[in-house]
Amino acid sequence: MQGVAILGSTGSIGTTALRVLARHRDRFAVRAVTAHANAALLAKQVGEWAPSYVALVEGDAETPAAWRRGSASLVEAATLPSVDVVLNAIVGAAGLDATLAALGAGKRVALANKESLVVGGALVDAAATRGGGTVVPVDSEHSAILQCLHGRGASDIRRLVITASGGPFREWPADRVRSATVQDALNHPTWSMGRKITVDSATLANKALEVIEAHFLFGVGYDQIEVVVHPQSIVHSMVEFRDGSVLAQLGVPSMELPILYALSHPERLEDAGIPVFDPVAAGRLTFEPVRHDAFPCLGLGVAAGRAGGAAPAVFNGANEQAVALFLDGRIPFGGIATGIEQALDRHAGLAGGDLESLWHADAAARRSVRETFGC
């Protein structure tokens, strides 16, 4: 029996993971669950799964006495002796400490929290090497790449082709995209996800995060990672090997399979609940280039990845702050890219060799965005 900790159990990935785990109770036991503020859903999950460890980061006097509170509880949950697999489904840089701690304690990290790798990729690698932990991606594109690679390493890869749905504004003229509303941005054509990643998918900042994620997960250079728009979200990504052969992984847009695979890798488990793929129903599969004029966040993020140091942390921190302000109705959609660009102009050169300097860069980026908009 494998013990599982689900960090962010009340979110889109967390609740999907519990649905998957409910079909595999013979192999996995949920030992820990954590949430940020959603006490009602967390209580419901505790009633169903009876985990021995429960944490509500923003708990208050009303919080059950047996539950832990505060952000240190995420690290505690990630390092419990009874836990073998940590599913990190927290949103944002807030997930980094738990990823590092889990890897340092030798756990498998099923990583949905891509921001961990974007902010602290080199530190994540170092923690895995030091502690003996492993990272298995939950992100559908990276799960697809892992499945195509089937154990082959970076030296066999010529190119990774990451697919992007293109988001709700794929066909909009660039000036209309800049003034899109919150409601427009939350209306994703193919995936149902949390609010932050849904906005990231509309700006294509999500693809920049994924390019950086792929760089660290698979050890390939930025010149070898390409993004292509694929509106149907059926081909989850492709690997071109050095002999020119291209393998792709296909399926309906659902996170259930990537979550299951991150738990079972390299094994494959029987699961009748995974949505069935019907190629005829899927219909025509199309591919288009990215329109960089309408979606500048992708280029900004990839450039930050190439620059290295604290630049990816600055990109991520600025993006998180700008998305929060956009969702609050305080800046226009186009302001997300403007805020990121100015933060990178001001702070991309900051040092990023250790955790402290990365948090410093993260804070500087967030402050820069607030200053840009007088918020």
DSSP 3-state of 185: helix
Of 45 and 147, the one with the shorter C-beta distance to Mg ion is: 147
Q: Give me the phi and psi of 21, to 5 degrees please.
A: -65, -30
Site for ligand NDP in 187-216 (CB under 6 A): 191, 193-194, 196-197
Output the CA torsion sign for 123, 126, 130, 132: positive
- Give me the 102-141 binding string for Mg ion, x by CB under 5 A, dash otherwise: -------------------------------------xxx
Q: Which of 36, 178 has the CB closer to ligand NDP?
A: 36
Point out which span in 109-117, 148-156, 241-249, 277-285 binds ligand NDP (CB under 6 A).
109-117
Query: Which tokens sit at 187?
Result: 């209306």
Question: What is the layout of strands, in order, in the sheet containing 157-164?
Answer: 225-229, 157-164, 235-241, 246-250
Please enumerate in sequence order all residues whose Cβ is within 8 A of that of 78, keeping only pairs 6 or more positions apart, or say none. Answer: 5, 7, 86, 88, 98, 99, 101, 102, 105, 107
Instruction: Please choose, out of 36-44, 123-131, 235-243, 365-373, the segment that lies near ligand NDP by the rule CB under 6 A.
Output: 36-44
The closest of 3, 6, 25 to 82, measured between CA atoms, is 3
Among 3, 10, 31, 99, the residue binding ligand NDP under the rule CB under 6 A is 10
User: How many angstroms separate the CA atoms of 95 and 269, rounded?
Assistant: 28
**Choices 85-93, 241-249, 268-276, 360-368 (CB under 6 A): range interacting with ligand NDP:** 85-93
Q: For residues 312 and 316, what is the distance between their CA atoms, to the nearest angstrom?
A: 6
What strands lie across the sheet with 28-35, from one edge to the other?
A: 68-69, 53-56, 28-35, 2-7, 85-88, 108-111, 134-137
**The one among 3, 14, 168, 309 contacting ligand NDP by CB under 6 A:** 14
Residues 347-366 that bind ligand NDP (CB under 6 A): none
Residue number with CB closer to ligand NDP (3 or 11): 11
139 binds ligand NDP (CB under 6 A): yes
Beta carbon of residue 109, minimum distance to ligand NDP (angstroms, whole number) = 13
Is residue 114 near ligand NDP by the rule CB under 6 A? Answer: yes
- In this structure, what token pair is assigned to residue 352? 């990023």
Measured from the CB atom, is 114 or 347 closer to ligand NDP? 114
Interacting positions 232-291 with ligand NDP (CB under 6 A): 255
